[in-house]
Amino acid sequence: MAKYGMVIDLLKCTGCGACGLGCKTQNNTDDPSNGQTFNWADYCESYSGKFPNMKYTMYPTLCNHCTDAPCVSACPVNPKAMYKKDNGITMHNEDRCIGCRMCQRACPYSSNDINADAGAKYSVISFNAAGKETQAKYKDSSELFKGSTSGAELARKSGGTPPYKTEFSHPDYNPVRGANKVEKCIFCEHLVQSGHKPYCTQVCPSEARVFGDLDDPNSEASKLLKKHSSSAVSLKDNKGAMQKPDDGIKPNVIYIRSYAAR
Amino acid sequence: TLNAFAETRTGAESEAAGKWIPNTCQGCTTWCPIEIFVQNGRAVKVRGNQLSKANDGYCCVRGHLILQQIYDPDRIKTPMKRTNPKKGRKEDPKFVPISWDEAMDTIADKIMELRKNNETHKFLLMRGRYSHHNTIFYGHLPRMIGSPNNISHSSICAEVEKMGSYATEGFWGYRDYDLDNMKYLITWACDPISSNRQPPNSIRRLHKVLDGGTVAAIDPRMNNTAAKAHEWMPVKPGTDGAVAVAMAHYILVNGLWNKDFCGDFKDGRNQFRKGATVNEGDFDEKHTNGLVKWWNLELKDKDAAWAAREAGVDRAQIERIAKGFAEAAPNCAIWYGPYMHPRGSYAVMAIHSLNGLVGATDSEGGLVTGMGAPSTAYPSFAPYQDDIAKANAGQTKIDQRGYLEMPAMARANPGTGVVCNNVANAILDEDPYDIKVAIGYFNNFNFSGTEGARWDKAMAKVPFFVHCVPMFSEMTYFADIVLPSALHHSEDWALVSSKANCYGHLSIQQPVIERMFDVKGIETEVTWLLAEKLKDKGFSNMYDWLSKEYKDPETGKHPSNSLEFAITATKMRSQKAWDPAENKDYKGDRPNGWEDFRKKGIVNSPRFTFRQKWANGFPTETKKFEFYSETLKKGFETHAAKYNVSVDRVLELTNYAARGELAFVPHYESPEDVRHGSRREYPFDLIDMKSRLNREGRSANNSWYYSFKKCDPGDVNQEDVVQLNPDDARKLGISDGDMVRVTSTIGSLTVKARLWEGIRPGVVAKCFGQGHHAFGRIASKDFVKAEPRGANFNEIMPDDYDRITGSTARNGGFTGVKIEKV
């Protein structure tokens, strides 16, 4: 048994965008469409105060792999498509998913349509609509002018859709998920199982993200959490409200220290 | 619909096999050594070069954007020629695909025509981004043809800041910083964790200074560093010099200057008191020149109270930062930005002089000039240059550098700095002469130059223009021939040198994937192909130069085609780095052979050695750190003498306020009288900023750019916005998300308003990067109708210069604007 989680040191974080974009290159997530971000890793900016005493914090976000995950209880499929693994990861099985989006509705960190949800800054779960053309850009054969290529030609010539598709194998997830399915961060389990860290953690230039087993007191993540327990907080929703990590549904992405030094 | 992926594959979780291939990212001027992960011949991920001591194996968000450049649906895949002779900003060139052979043949004919008419100086080569091999295409090729006109983009980029370290300590370049040991960092008109100067290194190490020391950010806008810093001083645009001289005043009056570096009063009694003139003879200077002169000429009356009024900031904050900075010396540094402002040279001199006053320059935990990296000199072209070329290559350059009112001093040598944005004026005025044949590569001056409308007119006037680019950009509208370039970070052969974290490095650019289209490396392959065609037409000098002087260092074989030439040039240029016979005494990395160098992709230098300049002197006229700049003075006097006028007359014609001796010391000059637009009619100061997602101007056709735009504090995903302070907006009846018209003395643009407390009242801020009407289907709103997505504020920033360096003004609120709700 383990409880994988992530501790993010906000003093080290500069909100630079590398984790959000790195995740997309690792997991081949799509461009945003009809209110779905398809950013498994994203950002929640929070600011207060008037000029010149403005305080600004950027929280890098991802699925919190909550201990009491409402998305899991909401999943109507049996056996569940959204389920907890014994390593703590809230896993989503693409095959069993029926696209009902009950999980997206139940998750406080997700919106069914981010454009229609006032104040929503990110959405952990995204939905590939039924009949949606995933990676549409690289199926489009239109050429802008005589002498330019097209998305479809790039896919054909490279042999990938998208051409920059990172191939990986995982029993629950395909490198590119299909239509009529939700999708979300699975802590890059395919990397973790082969001894690597989730890709968002690998690409963070300031090593602000520490992934590990929060049930193991000797893990780096647990030790960091212990050292900075006074400043430990978690997000409560996707609008920037905060909570103590072990309140409510017990999110397992925990922020320590503060983004701003003033 | 049936679930197409019903069958989920079994098997252990793991990533498919692939290979990390080294290359170099040039998404900003850090030029990071990187690696690209390739699976089944596809580029799928990017990271820093794991061996790099400059970025410790990390790249910033820009590195990951490379993938959408490689696989951009709107890439040009073949040479093209224009069929509509009419040229204009939105005039459809009606390009048709042609072969490389026909394209190069056409270009060669045009050059032969210039040679026939003895007008080879009317050939112009414009360079944007570049590699080491620009020496071949940009440096040597124009001289072999017989033209003096190789024009770099550098003066629309960041040249002013180099005068800050040049006029004081003789260093014309970007500085490097020892963040690991730094106790006090001031970022001044600069945001290192987001743009241009070492984002991966500063992102990685900023927390060390935040945690163990103090970070203060000085900028009218709360940029990323300012959001995290202990102090944010929201200075009024263009008044930074006032704060800098007031800090110097405070440091001297309170005896906090570095006595080991600057020296002290003979009797040890501090005579620096407000208003008091000091006798130069009473002070024994050590490694500096003219400290007391500087005090008497500029500093003695300019205290923090004065600067607080001038710059609209808090007096106590000025003194607190000056005190903290000086007391942390020498483990401190001011990291300042380009400061491209009509009076920028003196502002950056004032700012950099503080680094000298506290002895932080050349110090551990401070700032340094940084390390280079080994490379082998390119073979000479001179023996192959014929008489026509020799004669015309010596003619006056097209950009009017060195004219009376354009000293354009690179390294304080008048007439040596390129004045890129002025080339458009020179072409339109035909002064010194008209341009007949032009080539531009890796550039888009119509979009990135201020007051780009001049470039539209000028490029329409150039009879024959070749644009060597991967994308159909704004400047391509004026091309007669388009050559599709191989992408530097994934399809070409080249080398790049840069530095960070007190290490220098040479890093490779090599193909990581098979070229999907008929694209070629511009700096090398196009040079070869042109030489071949010119030889067929009777001018074989260039072919002789390339085929004889370039030979594979390992096999001795001369290149026989353009790709072989590109590889040979890359092997030759890096030989000193990889050849065991040549690198045996090198104290940095020593690969054993070309293949080993290709596999590693980088040669790190040894770490910078501090305090050598304290010991052996600075490369200035006086060999000292010059508060009184004999170095700049010599440049001014040389320029004035050339036209038989006084230095004061030059200062008058170049829009600086100083006269007499004041011109040779760091001092504050008010931005008011060089501001475009009266405050009554154009009340707001416009400040231009760079997005952390800008691969210089080249990210706009990437969908990912828009998905993470809010990582620039105050900006919004999927949109282009101008940031307004909420109080200002309320007075104008503007709410968040309204469309507003922003008007300067030369034009208007409409864009969405974003109310944001992180911007000083009276100031509006706009990120460069959007507003393309060309470049691609994602970058533009409607490519066919040439409708821009967002707004390119370069269009409403007047063509003005810091004339000392010839740099294009774009910072410091030099443009006044009016804001109206649409």
Give per-residue pLDDT as tens, A244-254: 999 999 999 99
Query: What is the distance in angstroms between the Cα of B2 and the nearest Cα belonging to chain A?
Result: 9
Contact, B160 vs B806, CB < 8 A?
no
Percent helix, strand and coil across chain A, each to the nearest 5: 20, 20, 60
CB atoms under 10 Å from CB of A106, counted, come to 18
Written as six digits, the tokens of A95 are 């095959």
Contact, B378 vs B573, CB < 8 A?
yes
Mean pLDDT value across residues B693-704 = 96
Nearest to A149 among B18, B68, B75 (CB): B75
pTM reported for the whole predicted model: 0.97
B228–A18: do the CB atoms touch at under 8 Å?
no
Give per-residue pLDDT as tens, A100-112: 999 999 999 999 9
Which is nearest to B706 in space by CA: B698, B716, B697, B717? B717
Q: How far apart are CA B442 and CA B453, in angstroms?
A: 20
Portion of chain B with pLDDT greater than 70, in percent: 99
Give per-residue pLDDT as tens, A160-203: 999 999 999 999 999 999 999 999 999 999 999 999 999 999 99
Looking at residue B48, its pLDDT comes to: 98
Q: How far apart are CA A173 and CA A170, in angstroms?
A: 5
Mean pLDDT value across residues A251-262 = 97
Quickly state the pLDDT bin for B734 (edges 50, 70, 90): very high
Q: By the CB < 8 Å criterion, does B39 face chain A?
A: yes
Contact, B494 vs B132, CB < 8 A?
yes
* Domains of chain A, start order: 4-256 (3.30.70.20)
Mean pLDDT value across residues B529-549 = 98
- Res A241 pLDDT > 90: yes
A32 contact residues in B (CB cutoff 8 A): 707, 718
In A43-102, the residues whose Cβ lies within 8 Å of chain B are 43, 45, 47, 49-52, 54, 56, 58, 93-95
In A173-192, the residues whose Cβ lies within 8 Å of chain B are 173-174, 177-181, 189-192
Nearest to A51 among B211, B718, B760 (CB): B760
Percent helix, strand and coil across chain B, each to the nearest 5: 35, 20, 45
B210 contact residues in A (CB cutoff 8 A): 11, 261
Q: By the CB < 8 Å criterion, does A211 face chain B?
A: no
Q: Which residue of A has its CA nearest to B715?
A: A45
Looking at residue B444, its pLDDT comes to: 98
Quickly state the pLDDT bin for B8 (edges 50, 70, 90): very low
Nearest to B693 among A17, A22, A196 (CB): A17
Give per-residue pLDDT as tens, B381-438: 999 999 999 999 999 999 999 999 999 999 999 999 999 999 999 999 999 999 999 9
DSSP string, B108-171: HHHHHHHHHTT-GGGEEEEE-S--TTHIIIIIIHHHHHT---EEESGGGTTHHHHHHHHHHHS-
- Res B2 pLDDT > 80: no
Looking at residue B450, its pLDDT comes to: 98
Which is nearest to B227 in space by CA: B199, B197, B187? B187
Looking at residue B10, its pLDDT comes to: 45
- Res A157 pLDDT > 90: yes
Nearest to B711 among A15, A137, A159 (CB): A15
- Res B347 pLDDT > 50: yes
Contact, B274 vs B221, CB < 8 A?
no
Q: B672-677, long-range: CB within 8 Å, 24+ apart, which pairs?
A: B674/B341, B674/B342, B674/B343, B674/B800, B674/B814, B675/B238, B675/B813, B675/B814, B675/B815, B675/B816, B676/B744, B676/B745, B676/B746, B676/B798, B676/B800, B676/B814, B676/B815, B676/B816, B677/B744, B677/B745, B677/B815, B677/B816, B677/B817, B677/B818
B727 contact residues in A (CB cutoff 8 A): 51
DSSP H helical ranges for B510-646: 527-536, 541-549, 562-573, 575-578, 580-583, 594-600, 612-616, 630-642
Query: What is the distance in angstroms between the Cα of A37 and the nearest Cα belonging to chain B?
Result: 8
Mean pLDDT value across residues B324-344 = 98
Looking at residue B12, its pLDDT comes to: 63
The H or E element containing residue B818 is strand B815-821
Residue where the block lists tokens 């004219």: B403
Q: How far apart are CA B146 and CA B143, in angstroms?
A: 5
Q: By the CB < 8 Å criterion, does A14 face chain B?
A: yes
Looking at residue B7, its pLDDT comes to: 38
Query: What is the distance in angstroms between the Cα of A107 and the nearest Cα belonging to chain B?
Result: 22
Sign of CA dihedral B467, B472, B474, B477: positive
Nearest to A56 among B7, B97, B758 (CB): B758
A145 contact residues in B (CB cutoff 8 A): 95, 472, 783
Q: By the CB < 8 Å criterion, does B64 face chain A?
A: yes
Main-chain phi, psi angles of B82, to 5 degrees: -75, 140
SS3 A33: strand
For B333, residues 6+ apart whose C-beta sits below 8 A from its C-beta are: B175, B177, B178, B182, B184, B185, B186, B355, B360, B366, B367
Mean pLDDT value across residues B113-137 = 98
Give per-residue pLDDT as tens, B649-686: 999 999 999 999 999 999 999 999 999 999 999 999 99
Contact, B725 vs B761, CB < 8 A?
yes
Written as six digits, the tokens of B297 are 């000429």
For B762, residues 6+ apart whose C-beta sits below 8 A from its C-beta are: B236, B683, B684, B685, B725, B728
Mean pLDDT value across residues B289-301 = 98
Q: Average pLDDT of chain B?
A: 97
- Res B13 pLDDT > 80: no
Looking at residue B44, its pLDDT comes to: 98
Give per-residue pLDDT as tens, B277-293: 999 999 999 999 999 99
Q: Which amino acid is at B789?
A: R
- Res B4 pLDDT > 70: no
- b vs e for A185-212, b when ≥16 Cβ sit within 10 Å of the residue's Cβ? bbbbbbbbeeeebbbbbbbbbbebbbbb
Quickly state the pLDDT bin for B240 (edges 50, 70, 90): very high
Query: What is the distance in angstroms between the Cα of A27 and the nearest Cα belonging to chain B?
Result: 10
- Res B14 pLDDT > 70: yes
